[in-house]
Amino acid sequence: MSPIAPKICAVITARTCSDAREALALAGSCADIAELRLDYLEDFDFENPTALRPLLEGRNIPVIITCRLPEEGGIRKVDEGTRLRLLIEGAKDYADYCDIEASRYSEATALNPDRSKLIVSYHNFSETPEKIDEIYSGLLRLPAAVHKIATRAVSVSDNIAIFRLLERAQNDGAQLIALAMGTPGLISRILGPSRGSFLTFAALERGAESAPGQLTVKDLKSVYRLHSLTPSTTILGIIGNPVLHSASPAMHNAALSLLGLDAVYLPIEVDEPRSFFRDFVNPSTRRMDWNLRGFSVTIPHKIAAMELVKEIYQPALNAGAVNTVVLDGEVTRGYNTDIQGAIEPLARLRSLAGARCAVIGAGGAARAVVCGLIQNGGNITVFARNPDRASDMARQFGVNVAPLESLNNGKFDVLINTTPVGMGGHSEDQSPVDPTAFTPGVIAYDLVYNPPVTRFLKDAHLSGCTTLSGLDMLVAQAGAQFKLWTGLEPPLELMMEAAKRHLGFSHQAGK
């Protein structure tokens, strides 16, 4: 079989030979190449390279065989002579490539390998070392078909070293797989092939990852449209920590795809926003040559981002937080779409002018809600458990404040929960208020979106209230971001469907 130009490599981590065969067939239907991790197999005869035949014959995809040592990230100790013989003989007779660690190169070459099937690899599970260029040069002195460098990204800036290596390899005419492992390295896994990486590894399904930060084949293909990315693709994304479970990549990439835009939205795990702005954003200092158009900012960087952008729009100043950055030539602009996102769904249900609104909580989301309600003429009381945070809001926004326990029925037209109480994995099935706080005809709005129907909304529904879920805000604020970056009307229904799919909701939520 002649190797194709591969991009997505499905890693097979099956425990039995029969599961591995099935997984290889599945990989053949969705990926470009597969890596069979022999060290995961429990019923495989490692002494006997011919044991590969029933696994690999009839395959419809090129296959790399790998049998990783425990100290190189593998899970099984196999006698070293047996392991190398299995890989070298196995590649000659059955597989398309075998992966040999650079530290074992001389032992492997003593077995007379077919060098056109050899991948020589370097792994570093603790960091991306400063001397990565020397490591690359040393690796390339070991003749092979493909060279591989996989290091751990301690911070997002480590991706830059990986992208530089890929550039070097292209200039050198070398076939290189380069990636940064771990969640800060995700962008190298998604953008690597468009910048010359021979392939990117992916899990066949969630839970079957063989290395930290690996995405699934399905996500790389359908969410990130990996095969259509090029070095000139416009880059958008979300910075924060954590970002891996954010619904934003699902929503924005679905919208970009529907509108046929050459753009991708990436999850970018960032611990130090100042370094991120320096290395990836500000045109005069950035070390990354990419077509960045803007990004979402999430917890915990929404306040820090205020100081890092060049211009801030008034609503973001009022809310004291930036959740959206737009790059316009040399200028970075900070916006806050949480305000618009929080109010739009509510304003569709009733006029807010003069509406008596109880805002529960006094954190970042509460500030966005209060700003929006003020703009729309709402009459606001903030109910908070922490009197200091409440009085800060009273001072800044001129709203009424009251202790949370004093919230009772009959006095409000709209009740808005801006606390995390009721969130899945946090305080699911709890409500920040007593059910008696709800009376018929009131609108109950919960900013929590997972689950889509919280205890707060269930109690409200039982009391005859109209309910509104945080999903509506999630989609509305994302829609406003999309418009800022692209200038186009966001396909909100599609974004809602993408968010629900990502969050695992199958039914219409919150209404």
Q: Return the residue nearest ligand NAP (CB atom).
A: 363
Q: What is the C-alpha to C-alpha distance for residues 196 and 392, in angstroms, rounded to an integer?
A: 52
Q: Which one, 65 or 509, has the nearer CB to ligand NAP? A: 509
Q: Which one, 211 or 374, has the nearer CB to ligand NAP? A: 374
Q: Which one, 150 or 473, has the nearer CB to ligand NAP? A: 473
Is 338 a known active-site residue? yes
32: three-class secondary structure by DSSP: coil
> By CB under 6 A, which span of 111-119, 151-159, 165-173, 379-387 interacts with ligand NAP?
379-387
Is 302 a known active-site residue? yes
In terms of Cα–Cα distance, which of 192, 258, 199, 195 is closest to 223?
Answer: 258
**CB of 407: closest distance to ligand NAP in angstroms?**
11
CA dihedral 54, 60, 64, 67 (to 10 degrees): -30
44: three-class secondary structure by DSSP: coil
Is 221 a known active-site residue? no
**CB of 416: closest distance to ligand NAP in angstroms?**
10
> By CB under 6 A, which span of 219-227, 276-284, 445-453, 459-467 interacts with ligand NAP?
445-453
313 Cβ neighbours under 8 A, 6+ residues apart: 333, 334, 335, 336
> By CB under 6 A, which span of 113-121, 200-208, 434-442, 468-476 interacts with ligand NAP?
468-476
Quick one: which of 315, 378, 432, 479 contacts ligand NAP (CB under 6 A)?
A: 432
Q: What is the C-alpha to C-alpha distance for residues 224 and 228, in angstroms, rounded to an integer?
A: 9
> By CB under 6 A, which span of 109-117, 168-176, 241-249, 413-421 interacts with ligand NAP?
413-421
Q: Which one, 139 or 339, has the nearer CB to ligand NAP? A: 339
487 Cβ neighbours under 8 A, 6+ residues apart: none
Q: What is the C-alpha to C-alpha distance for residues 451 and 421, in angstroms, rounded to an integer?
A: 11
CB distance 231 to 264 below 8 Å: no
Under the criterion CB under 6 A, does residue 474 sit at the interface with ligand NAP? yes
By DSSP bridging, strand 379-384 and strand 356-360 are parallel
**CB of 360: closest distance to ligand NAP in angstroms?**
7
Under the criterion CB under 6 A, does residue 424 sit at the interface with ligand NAP? no
Quick one: which of 225, 385, 461, 483 contacts ligand NAP (CB under 6 A)?
A: 385
Quick one: which of 255, 319, 399, 473 contacts ligand NAP (CB under 6 A)?
A: 473
CB distance 361 to 419 below 8 Å: yes
Quick one: which of 87, 178, 371, 448 contacts ligand NAP (CB under 6 A)?
A: 448
> By CB under 6 A, which span of 7-15, 245-253, 355-363, 452-460 interacts with ligand NAP?
355-363
What single letter denotes the amino acid at residue 436? T
Please state the φ and ψ torsions of residue 33, each to the nearest 5 degrees: -160, 160
Quick one: which of 179, 187, 266, 421 contacts ligand NAP (CB under 6 A)?
A: 421
Quick one: which of 146, 270, 423, 465 contacts ligand NAP (CB under 6 A)?
A: 423
Q: Which one, 123 or 367, has the nearer CB to ligand NAP? A: 367
> By CB under 6 A, which span of 69-77, 90-98, 346-354, 415-423 interacts with ligand NAP?
415-423
Q: What is the C-alpha to C-alpha distance for residues 47 and 79, in angstroms, rounded to an integer?
A: 9
Q: Which one, 178 or 384, has the nearer CB to ligand NAP? A: 384
Quick one: which of 97, 224, 449, 482 contacts ligand NAP (CB under 6 A)?
A: 449
Is 500 a known active-site residue? no
Q: What is the C-alpha to C-alpha distance for residues 71 and 306, in angstroms, rounded to an integer?
A: 44
**CB of 250: closest distance to ligand NAP in angstroms?**
14
Q: What is the C-alpha to C-alpha distance for residues 217 and 8, in angstroms, rounded to an integer?
A: 7
Residues 195-214 that bind ligand NAP (CB under 6 A): none
DSSP result, 213-277: T--BHHIIIIIS-GGG--TTSEEEEEEESS-TT-SHHHHHHHHHHHTT-SEEEEEEE-S-HHHHI
What single letter denotes the amino acid at residue 483? K
Quick one: which of 73, 193, 237, 470 contacts ligand NAP (CB under 6 A)?
A: 470
Quick one: which of 10, 447, 453, 457 contacts ligand NAP (CB under 6 A)?
A: 447
CB distance 235 to 228 below 8 Å: no
Size, binding site for ligand NAP by CB under 6 A: 26
Under the criterion CB under 6 A, does residue 362 sit at the interface with ligand NAP? yes
Q: CA quadruple 476, 486, 241, 213: dihedral positive or negative?
A: positive
What are the E-state strand segments in 277-355? Answer: 291-297, 311-312, 324-328, 331-335
Quick one: which of 389, 461, 483, 501 contacts ligand NAP (CB under 6 A)?
A: 389
In terms of Cα–Cα distance, which of 146, 88, 432 is closest to 444?
Answer: 432
Residues 3-62 that bind ligand NAP (CB under 6 A): none
What single letter denotes the amino acid at residue 410? G
Q: Which spans of this chain sit near ligand NAP (rule: CB under 6 A)?
A: 338, 341, 361-366, 384-386, 389, 404, 418-421, 423, 432, 447-449, 470, 473-474, 477
Active site residues: 123, 148, 302, 338
